[in-house]
Amino acid sequence: MTLRRQVQFWLISLIVFCLFLYVFSGVLLPFVAGMAVAYLLDPICDRLERLGMGRMWATLTILFTFLLILVLFFVLLLPLLGNQLALFLERFPELVRKLQALLSNYFPTDLAAVAGIDAEDLQSSMTDLIGQGASFVGKLAQSLWSGGQALLSILSLFVITPVVAFYLLLDWDRMVTRIDGWLPRAHLEEIRGLAGEMDRAVAGFVRGQVSVCVILGFFYAVSLAVVGLNFGLLIGMAAGLVSFIPFVGAGLGLILSVGVALVQFWPDWPWILAVAGIFAVGQFLEGNILQPKLVGDSTGLHPVTLMFALFAFGSLFGFVGMLIAVPAAAMIGVLARFALRQYLASPVYTGTGRPTAVSED
């Protein structure tokens, strides 16, 4: 009976939490962003405290530095990225036509002969496919933008988020201690163990993957700009931003950059190969240096599960859902592995009258 009541309590709590997210998703972005910033910067604040700085001054120093970097980014880089995005969208139909003409001249005739497809039909299919892809990207961008606007306004995000981050970062340790005091004493160690596992999973991904995205974004952007690729800064930053989804960021960046390079540099193959080589080097750095050092296998989530979580939470809760998708999926994964361990150790699985110990593996 006690177990049933516990299950009912946590299920009701989960339903209430989901309803809260659904009802107030339109105003949650500044608060979720502030919580994410506080969570991201708390280890640095703790380190400054250990060096002898008070919590208030450590919070002010870290938050001021973070906001200064953010302002410099928006003042120096955002206008340039915005101009490149506007120019890219303006020239996108022309780029598609030129790329299609280039591919039609060198590849489709042979491919059509092998496949037994008429060249004109193949060209028409390519046009439809590219058009559908462009339409999907446009609708996705429009959805994200309109969702972001509906959350209040861009101004409220920049005004409320720093305030929320300041108070949460200042009181973070006290809040954790207070929440720890609310835990049921009979299951204290078990809950603490699960919370610690969740924290390692979420912290490893959020803090590590943010670093990976930033490093890859600057690497791709600077490298493509040095090569002289049109829209290289925009494509590189976008590829780095989406690199938290394995292979997706690099794959999209490679397709876009090579497509632009074919139109821009053809028939100078060395420059086209240089653009492709940049993403090959980026993937090597990500797979062999950045991911193992900064992220590791922290979330325990399969890439397919990660993408499903982004789409599912985004569909349910909008842009806020996309922000909390990965942490929520990581925590659900921890709970699922805990439930699986409990099941494997239970008489239901073993078929005996008593539970057995199950290793963490």
Q: Residue with structure tokens 């925009």?
A: 234
Mean of all residue pLDDT scores within the chain: 75
Q: Is the peptide bond before 43 cis (omega within 30 degrees of 0)?
A: no
Pick left, alpha or beta for residue 247 (phi over 0 → left; psi -120 to 50 → alpha; otherwise beta): left
Give yes or no for residue 285 having a pLDDT over 80: yes
Q: Nearest-CA neighbor of 287 among 234, 256, 243?
A: 243
Question: What is the predicted pLDDT for the residue at 137?
Answer: 52
What is the pTM (predicted TM-score) of this model? Answer: 0.64
**CA gap 198, 57 in Å, rounded:** 29
Q: Nearest-CA neighbor of 227 among 193, 272, 267?
A: 272
Question: What is the predicted pLDDT for the residue at 47?
Answer: 87
**CA gap 127, 120 in Å, rounded:** 11
Mean pLDDT, rounded, for 244-251: 73
169-185 confidence digits (pLDDT tens): 888 888 888 888 887 77
Question: What is the predicted pLDDT for the residue at 149?
Answer: 47
Domain range summary for the chain, segments of one domain joined by +: 25-176, 202-297, 299-347+355-361
Question: What is the predicted pLDDT for the residue at 344?
Answer: 81
Q: Give buried/exposed letters for 13-32 (b at 16+ CB in 10 A, else e).
A: eeeeeeeebeeebeebbbbb
Give yes or no for residue 52 having a pLDDT over 70: yes
Output the CA torsion 205→243→161→138 (10° steps): -140
Pick left, alpha or beta for residue 45 (phi over 0 → left; psi -120 to 50 → alpha; otherwise beta): alpha
* pLDDT class of 150 with cuts at 50, 70, 90: very low
On whether the CB atoms of residues 31 and 160 are closer than 8 A, the answer is: yes
Question: What is the predicted pLDDT for the residue at 142?
Answer: 52
261-273 confidence digits (pLDDT tens): 888 877 778 888 8
**CA gap 242, 255 in Å, rounded:** 14
Report the Cα 42 to chain-centroid distance in Å.
20
Question: What is the predicted pLDDT for the residue at 218?
Answer: 87
Q: Give buried/exposed letters for 120-159 (b at 16+ CB in 10 A, else e).
A: eebbeebeeebeeeeeeeeeeeeeeeebbeebbeeeebee
Question: What is the predicted pLDDT for the residue at 134?
Answer: 54
On whether the CB atoms of residues 201 and 299 are closer than 8 A, the answer is: yes
